[in-house]
Amino acid sequence: MQKEGGEVVSTSTETLIAAMHILATEIQSDDGVANAAIAEAGERLAEQHMRITQLERENDALRADLLLWNEKEVRP
């Protein structure tokens, strides 16, 4: 996170994922453990981001269905 004009600015998840992939290939590590750990962290972050996005879409659809259902129940 960075501060700009007193406000905290967060980096987008997509940018963090891309940075992790770049770091995984660019970091110089004798045994490759750091590269592997960073690569795995980037992959896990990407998987979680995709899953959260999917769950948010499903949640939005369920809310829309609930609103429609409530409207039908209110009508005589």
pTM of the model: 0.72
Per-residue pLDDT of 17-76, as tens digits, reads 999 999 999 999 999 999 999 999 999 999 999 999 999 999 999 998 888 888 777 666
Alpha-carbon gap, residue 32 to 8, rounded angstroms:
34
Positive or negative: CA dihedral 13, 16, 22, 25:
negative
Q: How far is CA 26 from CA 17, 21, 32, 45, in A?
A: 14, 9, 11, 19
